[in-house]
Chain A
Amino acid sequence: MQCRDFREIADSYLSDELTVETNHEVLKHLETCAVCRTEIGARREIRIRLKTAVKNDERFQIGEGFATELKAKLQEVSLEEMPVKNRTFGRQTAWLAIAASFLLVALLIGVGIRYQLRKNQNLSSNNNSNAIILAREAMAHFAVGDHKNCALQHNLEEMPISLSEAAKRYDKTYAELDKAVMKAFDNNENKVEFLGAHACIFEGKKFAHVVLRTKGKIVSFLVVNKEENETNSVDANNSTSISCQPKDGFQVSCFDTQRHQVFIVSDMSEQDNLTIARTLQSSIMNHLS
C-alpha cells in the first residue's frame, strides 16, 4: 500500500468501515510508515476535538427550563392524544405470517426441484449428467451467497469455526484443506495469495471455505458435503467434468468428488475461474477421498 492509497481510506479505517483484508493492509502500512502514523493520529485527534467542541459549546446546550416545560406539555398531550400500543401480537403476527409464507414458497420450490430431478432421472440413465448439473445448480446459489456474505461483506449470521474444529464436528476431510489448496498452486505462474480458511454456514448450508486472492480478485474455494444438498441423489463418482456458469453476477465453477461438491466463486473471467478449478481438481479430489 502506498501513502496515497492510505490517505484515501484513512477515514474509513478510523470509522472501522474497512474489510478485514484492507484493515490488515492498513496496519501493515502503518507499521512501516511514520508519516502515515502521524497523519492518522492527527485525523483521530480532529475527530475527538470536533466531538468535544460541539458537545461542550454553550450554544448547543438545551435550556433546562425549556426541557422541563416541554416534558410537562408532552405528558399533558399524552393523556388525550397518545395512541396506545398493542404490546405483543401486532407486529409479531405480521412477521409470523411473512415467515410462514416464505416457508410455504420454499417448500413448494423444494418439491418442484425434487419432482424435476426425479422426472429427469426416470427419463433415461443417460440423464445422469443432467442430474449432476441440477444438483450443482441447486447448491451454486448457496455457494455464491456464502462468497458474497462471508468473503466479500463479512456479514455472516453465525461465527465461522476453524477447519480443524469443522473436521471434528462435520467432516474429517476438512482438516488441512487449506494446505491442500495452496499446494495445488505451488507451480502456478500467477501468484495466488492465501487470505483465510474456516468453516461457515450460509442459509443452513455448511461450507469449508478457503479465501484466496489472485489478479487482484477475491476467490472463494468452497466445499460442501453432498448430504447438505437435498437434490443430490446422483452418483458422480465417475464424473470429472467441471461445470462453469455465471450466477448472480459471479462466475461459478464446480466439480464433484465422491462425497463432496467443490465450488470456485469469483468475479474473474469465465476462463480464469475455470483455470483455477482445473488447477485444484486433482489434488482436492485426492484430499477429499
Chain B
Amino acid sequence: MLSLARKQEPTDSWNDFETEVIPFMADVYRVAMWLVRDKTDAEDLVQETYKQALLSYHRFEKGTNCRAWLVTILYHTNSKRIRSRSKLHLVHSVEEEIAETIAFEPPTPQGLTDEDVLAALEKIPKQFQEVVLLCDVEDFSYKEISLALNVPIGTVMSRLHRGRRLLRSELAAFANRYGINKEDDKGRESNAVS
C-alpha cells in the first residue's frame, strides 16, 4: 500500500538539525555552565542535551522557539543527572524566606561595572539566579521558563520579582562599598518617602 506521508531521508533530517539546532550550541553551553559551574560537567550536559535533541528532533515543531526547546531538554537532562546522583533533593526554603524579608529596597545604583553586576547575581540564591538569567539575559518568556524549569508560571513570576529585588539590594551594597551615588541616593530616598 502506498503511504501518503513522504518520509525524510536521514541525511535530510541531519541537514535540518544542523541548520536549526546546532547554531544554538553556544547559548546552551552558557546556560549549562551557569547551572553546573564546571567546564567538564557543562560539556557533558551539553553533549547529553544535544544527543536527546537529535533523537527527538522528529517531535520538534518547526516555527516554535528552538532555543527554548533545547533549554527545556537541558533542564530535564540535568534534573535526571541530579536524581541519579542523590535520591534526596532539598529545597532551600530558608533562601526563599530571606528573599521575602528585604525590609527596605534602596534606589537602584548607577555607574557599576559588568563585573559588579555579575558578582551581585552570583551572590543571590540559585533558584532566583536561574530565572533572572533565563529572563533578563537569555530573553525567554515566562511560559518558556515555566516549561524548562517545570514549575507553574506564577512561581516563575514571583521568583523573578524577588530575584530582581535581591539583585538590586546586592548592587546597592556594592555601590555603598565604592561610595557610588551617595549624594544622589540621599535625594532619591527623601523623594521616595513622599
Contacts and interface: CB of A to CB of B under 8 A. Distances in A.
B7 A60 contact: no
B137 A55 contact: yes
A144 B137 CA distance: 38
Contact of A79 (B6, B10, B118, B168): B10
B136 A50 contact: yes
Nearest to A90: B5
Contact of A61 (B26, B50, B117, B164): B26
Interface stretch (A38-46, A180-188, A242-250): A38-46
Nearest to A80: B10
Contacts of A4: 192
B107 interface: yes
Contacts of A41: 110
B191 interface: yes
B74 interface: no
Interface residues of B, number: 62
A66 B29 CA distance: 11
Contact of B136 (A35, A47, A67): A47
B190 to A, nearest CB: 9
A71 interface: yes
Interface of A: 3-4, 7, 11, 15, 35, 38-39, 41-43, 45-47, 49-57, 59-63, 66-67, 70-71, 73-75, 77-79, 81-91
Interface of B: 4-14, 16-18, 22, 25-26, 29-30, 33-34, 39, 43, 46-47, 50-51, 54-58, 61, 105, 107-110, 112-115, 117-118, 121, 132-133, 135-137, 160-161, 164, 167-168, 171, 184, 187-188, 191-192, 194
21 contacts: A4-B192, A35-B192, A38-B110, A46-B167, A46-B168, A49-B117, A56-B114, A61-B29, A62-B26, A62-B46, A74-B50, A82-B10, A82-B14, A82-B57, A83-B55, A84-B13, A84-B58, A85-B57, A86-B5, A86-B6, A87-B5
